C-alpha cells in the first residue's frame, strides 16, 4: 500500500510538472508573438534607415536570426517585401542620346570586333563634350544624378543599340543558280605556304611569322603562294591552282583560262565558259586585261560589295575545304619541292574530292551532278592561244564603206570584208565598234547599245573572195540587177524631199526638184521678221575720232598721154599747146589735173597792147 500511494503521488506530480511546462511554453510563444507583432507595427511606421536597428534588436532579444525574424513576421501576416521604385522603367536616357552613345562605341570597335572604348569612357567623353546628358531628375527633390554605366548598358540592349547587337551579321537571302556553268565564283587567298628556291615549299610557323614581326613577311613577300579557287555554284565543283608572288590580273586570267579549258582527263570533266562570274572587287579582278577577256567571252561579271563575303559563300567555303582537306596533308610525308608538283597534287586531290565526296546540299558528287549539263548550257571555250589573244585585243572602230561593209583583220590573218547591212540603223560613213567572236572565228561582233543601255552583239561573217578578187555578194554584169535596201538615212532623205515639195510620191518630188521649183514655197522666211521687230532705238551720242587720212600718191601721166586725152575730149592740139602742158607740168601730169588743163587750154588768149 505505501508503495502504491507513493507511485500514485509520483504520477500526479509528473502530470502537474508537464502541465506547468506546457503552460510556460505557451506563455513564451505568446510572448514571442507579442514581441513580433510589436516589431511588425514598429517597422510599418519606421523611417528609412531605422528598420535595420529594430530587426537587429528583436533578433538579439529572441535569439533568432534576421531571416527567422522576417519569416515569423510573414507567418503573422506582415509583408515587408521591397517596394518597387516609383520610377521603375524610367531611366532618364533619351533615344537620341542612346544612338549617340551607340555610334561612339561602334566607332571604337576594330575590324576584328575588339572594342577599345568602354561604356564608362564613352559616357565621360560625350558628357564632357556636351553631346549627351544621360541623367535622372528626382521628381520630388529635383536632384540631378548621372545614369550609371549599368543602366545605360541595359537601355542600349533594350533598344537594340548595344555594339554586341549591332556587330551581329545581317540576315542573308539564299542565292540559287540555274544549271551547271551558269554561275562560277572565283577567289584568291594567301595561304600559309611560301616557296624557297633552295628549300622548296615551306609552311609559315606562328613563332616566326606572327603579326608583330612584319620584317619576316617582307622578306618572303615575293615568294608567298597564292591559292586561286573556283567553284561552280550549282554543283559545288572545286578547281584550285597555286601561283607565287601577289594577286595580279595576269595570274587571275591564267587561272580562269585554265578552268574553262578541257583538261583532257576523263576523271576531270568540268570545262566550258560560265555565263556569270562572281568575285570580290579586288584590283586584280577589276583589271583591264581580265575584264577584256570576260567581255570578249560574253561572261557577265558581278562583283560583291566589300565586307560581304557571303555573296560568294560557295567559293569561301571551298577555300576552307582546300585548306583543311588538302593543304593539311602537305606536312606529312615527302616535302613538295616545286610549284608544278604542288599543282599536280592539288589536281589529284580535286579529282578525288569532286568525284567521291557527296555534297550536303544536293546529295550527289560534284562531278556527277555537273555531268547533267545540257549542250546549250555548255559553251566550249576557244583554244588557250585565242584566249591569251583576247586578253589584249580591245574593241576597234571601223568605218562603213558605201557598200555597207567594213574591213577587219584578225591577228595573223589578212584583212577581210564583212557585210554589216543587217545591223540596225547602220549608215554609210558611220564608225562601228567591232571585236572578234571567239566562239565562231573568223566571225566578228559589231557592238551596239540597246535601248536599255546594255551592249548588243551582231555577228558578221566574212565574205568569200574568188580568184579574181570579187566577193560572193558582187552582182555579175548583164546577168542580174540588185540594189541594196534603203538604209534609215536613205528613207529619211526621201521623206524629207517629199515633205519639202508637199507631195506624197518620190517621183513627184524628184520632178519638182528637176524643174527648179522652190521647196516650201508657201513659207515666208523673212516677212514675219518685220512684224516681230517692234523696238526703236534712240541715237546715242558719240565722240569724233581724229583719224588722219592717208595720202594717195598718183602716178603722173606723160605730156604726150595728156595731149592725147585732150584730143579724146574734143580739144584740138598742136605743138604750141603741147609745149604749154610741158611747161606747166615739167614732172609729169597728175590725172587729177586733166580737167584743169582742159579748162586752161579752152580759155581765149589774153590780148596784149602792142607799142
Could you report the per-residue pLDDT of 418-428, keeping only the tens digit for each?
A: 999 889 888 88
Q: Quote the pLDDT of residue 474.
A: 81
pLDDT surpassing 80 at residue 434: yes
Q: What percent of the chain has pLDDT over 70?
A: 82
Could you report the per-residue pLDDT of 119-152, keeping only the tens digit for each?
A: 999 999 999 998 998 988 877 676 788 999 999 9
Place domain 183-377 in its CATH homologous superfamily.
Answer: Ribonuclease H-like superfamily/Ribonuclease H (3.30.420.10)
Q: Quote the pLDDT of residue 451.
A: 82
- Confidence grade of residue 207 (pLDDT, cut at 50, 70, 90): very low
Domain ranges of the chain: 23-76, 95-167, 183-377, 395-479, 559-602
pLDDT surpassing 80 at residue 90: no
Q: How many CB atoms lie within 10 A of CB 107?
A: 11
pLDDT surpassing 80 at residue 240: yes
Phi and psi angles of residue 102, each rounded to the nearest 5 degrees, phi first? -60, -45
- Is the pTM higher than 0.85? no
Q: What is the mean pLDDT of residues 292-316?
A: 78
Q: Which one, of 74, 72, 89, lies nearest residue 32 by Cα?
A: 72
Could you report the per-residue pLDDT of 509-524, keeping only the tens digit for each?
A: 888 888 888 888 788 7
Q: Quote the pLDDT of residue 322.
A: 92
- Confidence grade of residue 183 (pLDDT, cut at 50, 70, 90): very high
pLDDT surpassing 50 at residue 303: yes
Distance from chain centroid for Cα 599: 97
- Mean pLDDT, the chain, as a whole number? 81
Query: What's the grid cell of residue 215?
Result: 620584317
Q: What is the mean pLDDT of residues 374-396?
A: 87
Q: How many CB atoms lie within 10 A of CB 394?
A: 12
Helix (H) or strand (E) holding 433: strand 431-436
Q: Quote the pLDDT of residue 467.
A: 84
pLDDT surpassing 70 at residue 310: no
Contact 113, 79 (CB under 8 A): no
Burial group, residue 446, by CB count within 10 angstroms (0-12, 13-18, 19+): buried
pLDDT surpassing 80 at residue 81: no
Could you report the per-residue pLDDT of 48-73, keeping only the tens digit for each?
A: 778 788 888 888 888 888 888 888 88
Q: Quote the pLDDT of residue 206.
A: 45
- Confidence grade of residue 213 (pLDDT, cut at 50, 70, 90): very low
- Confidence grade of residue 350 (pLDDT, cut at 50, 70, 90): very high
pLDDT surpassing 60 at residue 89: no
- Confidence grade of residue 300 (pLDDT, cut at 50, 70, 90): very high
Could you report the per-residue pLDDT of 12-54, keeping only the tens digit for each?
A: 555 555 555 555 555 667 778 888 888 888 888 887 778 788 8
Q: Quote the pLDDT of residue 215.
A: 47
Cis before 572 (ω within 30): no
* Dihedral angle of Cα 139, 142, 146, 151, to the nearest 10 degrees: -10
Contact 265, 348 (CB under 8 A): no
Q: What is the DSSP letter of 46?
A: P
551 or 257: which carries more pLDDT confidence? 257
The CA-atom distances, in angstroms, between 388 and each of 181, 250, 292, 354, 489 are 21, 10, 11, 28, 40
- Confidence grade of residue 280 (pLDDT, cut at 50, 70, 90): confident
Helix (H) or strand (E) holding 68: helix 66-75
193 or 537: which carries more pLDDT confidence? 537
DSSP assignment of 80-121, as one string? -PPPPPTTTT-----HHHHHHHHHHHHHTB-TTS-B-S-HHH
Amino acid at each position: 500500500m505505501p508503495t502504491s500511494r507513493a507511485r500514485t503521488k509520483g504520477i500526479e506530480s509528473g502530470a502537474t510538472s508537464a502541465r506547468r511546462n506546457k503552460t510556460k511554453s505557451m506563455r513564451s510563444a505568446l510572448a514571442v508573438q507579442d514581441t513580433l507583432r510589436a516589431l511588425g507595427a514598429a517597422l510599418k511606421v519606421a523611417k528609412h534607415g531605422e528598420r535595420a536597428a529594430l530587426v537587429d534588436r528583436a533578433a538579439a532579444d529572441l535569439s533568432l536570426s534576421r531571416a527567422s525574424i522576417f519569416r515569423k513576421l510573414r507567418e503573422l501576416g506582415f509583408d515587408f517585401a521591397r517596394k518597387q521604385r516609383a520610377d521603375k522603367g524610367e531611366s532618364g536616357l533619351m533615344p537620341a542620346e542612346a544612338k549617340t552613345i551607340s555610334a561612339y562605341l561602334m566607332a571604337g570597335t576594330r575590324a576584328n570586333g575588339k572594342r577599345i572604348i568602354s561604356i564608362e569612357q564613352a559616357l565621360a567623353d560625350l558628357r564632357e563634350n556636351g553631346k549627351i546628358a544621360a541623367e535622372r531628375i528626382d521628381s520630388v527633390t529635383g536632384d540631378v544624378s548621372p545614369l550609371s554605366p549599368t543602366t545605360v548598358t541595359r537601355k542600349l540592349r533594350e533598344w537594340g543599340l548595344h555594339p554586341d547587337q549591332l556587330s551581329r551579321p545581317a540576315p542573308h537571302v539564299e542565292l540559287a543558280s540555274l544549271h551547271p556553268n551558269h554561275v562560277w565564283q572565283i577567289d584568291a587567298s594567301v595561304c600559309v605556304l611560301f616557296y624557297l628556291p633552295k628549300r622548296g615549299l615551306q609552311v609559315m610557323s606562328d613563332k616566326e611569322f606572327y603579326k608583330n614581326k612584319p620584317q619576316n613577311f617582307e622578306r618572303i613577300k615575293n615568294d608567298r603562294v597564292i591559292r586561286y579557287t573556283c567553284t561552280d555554284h550549282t554543283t559545288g565543283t572545286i578547281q584550285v591552282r597555286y601561283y607565287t608572288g601577289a594577286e595580279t590580273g595576269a595570274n587571275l586570267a591564267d587561272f580562269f583560262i585554265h578552268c574553262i579549258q578541257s583538261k583532257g582527263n576523263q576523271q576531270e570533266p568540268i570545262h566550258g565558259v560560265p555565263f556569270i562570274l562572281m568575285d570580290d572587287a579586288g584590283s586584280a579582278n577589276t583589271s583591264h586585261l581580265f575584264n577584256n577577256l570576260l567581255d570578249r567571252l560574253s561572261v557577265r561579271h558581278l562583283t560583291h560589295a566589300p565586307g560581304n563575303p557571303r555573296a560568294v559563300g560557295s567559293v569561301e567555303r571551298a577555300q576552307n575545304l582546300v585548306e583543311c582537306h588538302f593543304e593539311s596533308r602537305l606536312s606529312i610525308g615527302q616535302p613538295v619541292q616545286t610549284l608544278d608538283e604542288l599543282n599536280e597534287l592539288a589536281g589529284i586531290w580535286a579529282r578525288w574530292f569532286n568525284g567521291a565526296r557527296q555534297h550536303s546540299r544536293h546529295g550527289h558528287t560534284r562531278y556527277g551532278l555537273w555531268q547533267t549539263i545540257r549542250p546549250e548550257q555548255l559553251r566550249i571555250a576557244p583554244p588557250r592561244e585565242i584566249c591569251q589573244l583576247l586578253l589584249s585585243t580591245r574593241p576597234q572602230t571601223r568605218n562603213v564603206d558605201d557598200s555597207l561593209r567594213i574591213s577587219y583583220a584578225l591577228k595573223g590573218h589578212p584583212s577581210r570584208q564583212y557585210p554589216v547591212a543587217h545591223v540596225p540603223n547602220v549608215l554609210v560613213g558611220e564608225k562601228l565598234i567591232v571585236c572578234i567572236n571567239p566562239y565562231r572565228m573568223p566571225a566578228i561582233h559589231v557592238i551596239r547599245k540597246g535601248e536599255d543601255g546594255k551592249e548588243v552583239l551582231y555577228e558578221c561573217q566574212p565574205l568569200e573572195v574568188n580568184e579574181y578578187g570579187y566577193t560572193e555578194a558582187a552582182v555579175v554584169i548583164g546577168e542580174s540587177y540588185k540594189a541594196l535596201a534603203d538604209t534609215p538615212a536613205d528613207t529619211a532623205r526621201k521623206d524629207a524631199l517629199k515633205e519639202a515639195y508637199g507631195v506624197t510620191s518620190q517621183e513627184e518630188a524628184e520632178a519638182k526638184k528637176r524643174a527648179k521649183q522652190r521647196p516650201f514655197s508657201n513659207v515666208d522666211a523673212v516677212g514675219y521678221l518685220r512684224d516681230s521687230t517692234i523696238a526703236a532705238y534712240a541715237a546715242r551720242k558719240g565722240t569724233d575720232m581724229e583719224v588722219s587720212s592717208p595720202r594717195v600718191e598718183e602716178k603722173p601721166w606723160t605730156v604726150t598721154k595728156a595731149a592725147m586725152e585732150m584730143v579724146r575730149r574734143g580739144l584740138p592740139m598742136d605743138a604750141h599747146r603741147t609745149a604749154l602742158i610741158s611747161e606747166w607740168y615739167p614732172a609729169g601730169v597728175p590725172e587729177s589735173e586733166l580737167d584743169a588743163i582742159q579748162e586752161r587750154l579752152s580759155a581765149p588768149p589774153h590780148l596784149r597792147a602792142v607799142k
